């Protein structure tokens, strides 16, 4: 969380072209969270997060911004689609379940951090267990010299197990039965506890023989979860995770326009749409939600909502919900130049991905600069004539160009293939110029 707004924007610039306003707004919102955490408790309680509403056509980078934020920030983060929720009483997911999902995500982050801190302890536990199985214990009453020899043998075997020299050896081990938690965030906490009680009862009835013959390599992996559950303090992990979710959690609410009620979208699902908005309202403005791990307050969770708003408008949301998203940012439509930059300037761009994929076959794929400009031009034209799907159009266009080359890539082993402007025109001109073909193929 200690990244400056400039550093956050610089990171996003590597993967997302243009959209400066959106990046700046999000960077400031994230930095404000950090600033708030440095203040005294009284002031912290007063400062509410400035929730953001991102408005823009599909394929301009709304969801990509959320994906990159999730990778960059070591804070609890979940992305959910508003359209999958329904109001209480309808069949579907309860809106509160998004907060429970956030808590589960937070627990996973904190648990991984604790596992990293206790890495040596966990590794020692695993190696000791495997070594004890490979070197049977001495009988009682063994002489001191035999005990010394045994100790030396034990230490030598530990080193061999640690170095991976024994990975292929098959051993029989008894593993503790790990209860795999099937977390259904849609269930109320009381029902989850009942479900857990039944799980424990059936686990005791069906006691299985946990002895298994496995390789040392697999045993290391199977013992890791057992070691974590024994050596880590679950109570402190859960408490820390709840605290982080409350103060640093981010919920990215995608497709929010799908629950807006516009004049054009009158239909029988409309009461459900408005119901979702009304259920969402108390969570966004701040309420206490019961989870399996404790109660979480949503006052300081940052909500970032996004939608294309093709059919509806932000003003079609209920007024109370509109007021809970004070920061509005409109994302620009992608121009021909922007599409060219997406292909050439982003880290791990589509062109680099295709070059790497066909490089597996020993083929050296290269793109002429003129060819890349032509791809951007034709993709932009296809967006204008057919439905505008933004940067996603580049996937379909490139696949169409490289389909035949990819099919016979093995014939170009240790050879170079250059994609020229002529090839791009040959593959795409007919499709782009024909409206019907364009709609079905691109």
Q: Using one digit for the tens of pLDDT, what is the confidence trace for 369-410? A: 999 999 999 999 888 887 788 888 899 899 999 999 999 988
For the ranges 102-111, 199-208, 224-233, 401-410, which has the lowest average pLDDT? 199-208
Judge if 303 and 316 occupy the same domain.
yes
Higher pLDDT, 154 or 436: 154
Residue 55 confidence (pLDDT): 92
Residue 93 confidence (pLDDT): 67
State the pTM of this model: 0.79
- The last residue of one of the domains, among 330, 350, 375, is 330
Question: The CATH number of the domain where 389 resides is what?
Answer: 1.10.8.60
Residue 433 lies in a domain: no
Judge if 299 and 212 occupy the same domain.
no
Which range has highest mean pLDDT (53-67, 182-196, 203-217)?
A: 53-67
Residue 207 lies in a domain: yes
Q: Taking a C-beta distance cutoff of 8 angstroms, is the pair 338, 16 a contact?
A: no
Judge if 144 and 224 occupy the same domain.
yes
Question: The CATH number of the domain where 305 resides is what?
Answer: 3.40.50.300
Instruction: Please report where in the chains the tokens 């506890």 appear, as a residue.
Output: 193
Residue 163 confidence (pLDDT): 85
Element (H, E) at 190: helix 189-205
Judge if 291 and 361 occupy the same domain.
no
- The last residue of one of the domains, among 305, 330, 355, is 330
Residue 352 has pLDDT above 90, yes or no: yes
- Structural domain including 121 reads 115-239
Assign 340 a pLDDT band (cuts: 50, 70, 90): very high
Residue 36 lies in a domain: yes
Judge if 48 and 143 occupy the same domain.
no
Q: What is the pLDDT of residues 54-90, one digit of tens each?
A: 998 888 888 888 888 877 877 889 988 888 886 665 6
Residue 197 confidence (pLDDT): 67
Q: What is the C-alpha end-to-end distance of the chain, expressed in Å? A: 41
DSSP string of 263-302, one letter each residue: GGG-STTHHHHHHHHHHHHHHHH--EEEETTEEEE-TT-E
Judge if 302 and 364 occupy the same domain.
no
Judge if 276 and 294 occupy the same domain.
yes
Residue 268 has pLDDT above 50, yes or no: no
Residue 401 lies in a domain: yes
Q: Taking a C-beta distance cutoff of 8 angstroms, is the pair 276, 87 a contact?
A: yes
Residue 178 confidence (pLDDT): 55
Element (H, E) at 386: none
**CA–CA separation, 150 and 171 (whole Å):** 20
Nearest-CA neighbor of 242 among 192, 295, 166? 295
Query: How buried is residue 90: exposed, middle or buried, by Cβ count under 10 Å (0-12/13-18/19+)?
Result: middle
- Summarize the confidence of residues 16-23 as an average pLDDT: 90
Residue 21 lies in a domain: yes
Q: What is the pLDDT of residues 226-239, one digit of tens each?
A: 888 888 888 999 99
- The last residue of one of the domains, among 239, 274, 291, is 239
């Amino acid at each position: 969380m200690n990244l400056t707004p400039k550093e956050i924007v610089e990171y996003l610039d590597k993967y997302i072209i243009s959209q400066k306003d959106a990046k700046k707004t999000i960077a400031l919102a994230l930095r404000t969270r950090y600033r708030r955490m440095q203040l005294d408790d009284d002031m912290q309680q007063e400062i509410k997060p400035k929730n953001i509403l991102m408005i823009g056509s599909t394929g301009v980078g709304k969801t990509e911004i959320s994906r990159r934020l999730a990778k960059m920030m070591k804070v609890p983060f979940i992305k959910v689609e508003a359209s999958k929720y329904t109001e209480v009483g309808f069949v579907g997911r309860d809106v509160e379940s998004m907060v429970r999902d956030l808590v589960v995500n937070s627990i996973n982050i904190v648990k991984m951090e604790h596992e990293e801190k206790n890495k040596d302890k966990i590794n020692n536990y695993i190696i000791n267990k495997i070594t004890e199985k490979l070197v049977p214990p001495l009988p009682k009453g063994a002489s001191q010299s035999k005990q010394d020899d045994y100790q030396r043998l034990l230490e030598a075997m530990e080193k061999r197990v640690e170095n991976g020299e024994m990975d292929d050896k098959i051993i029989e081990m008894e593993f503790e039965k790990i209860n795999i938690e099937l977390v259904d965030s849609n269930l109320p906490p009381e029902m989850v506890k009942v479900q857990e009680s039944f799980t424990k009862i059936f686990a005791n009835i069906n006691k299985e023989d946990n002895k298994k013959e496995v390789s040392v390599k697999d045993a290391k992996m199977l013992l890791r979860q057992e070691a974590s559950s024994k050596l880590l303090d679950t109570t402190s992990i859960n408490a820390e995770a709840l605290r982080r979710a409350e103060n640093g959690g981010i919920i990215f609410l995608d497709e929010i326009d799908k629950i807006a009620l516009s004049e054009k979208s009158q239909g029988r699902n409309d009461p459900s749409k408005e119901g979702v908005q009304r259920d969402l309202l108390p969570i966004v403005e701040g309420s206490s939600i019961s989870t399996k791990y404790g109660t979480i307050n949503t006052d300081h969770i940052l909500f970032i909502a996004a939608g294309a708003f093709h059919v509806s408008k932000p003003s079609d949301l209920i007024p109370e919900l509109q007021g809970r998203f004070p920061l509005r940012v409109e994302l620009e439509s992608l121009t021909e130049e922007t599409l060219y930059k997406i292909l050439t300037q982003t880290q791990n761009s589509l062109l680099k991905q295709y070059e790497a994929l066909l490089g597996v076959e020993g083929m050296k794929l290269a793109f002429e600069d003129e060819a890349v400009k032509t791809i951007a031009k034709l993709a932009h034209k296809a967006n204008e004539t057919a439905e505008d799907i933004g940067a996603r159009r580049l996937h379909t266009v490139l696949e169409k160009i490289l389909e035949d080359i990819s099919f016979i890539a093995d014939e170009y082993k240790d050879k170079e293939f250059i994609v020229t402007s002529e090839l791009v025109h040959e593959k795409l001109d007919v499709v782009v110029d024909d409206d019907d073909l364009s709609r079905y193929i691109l």
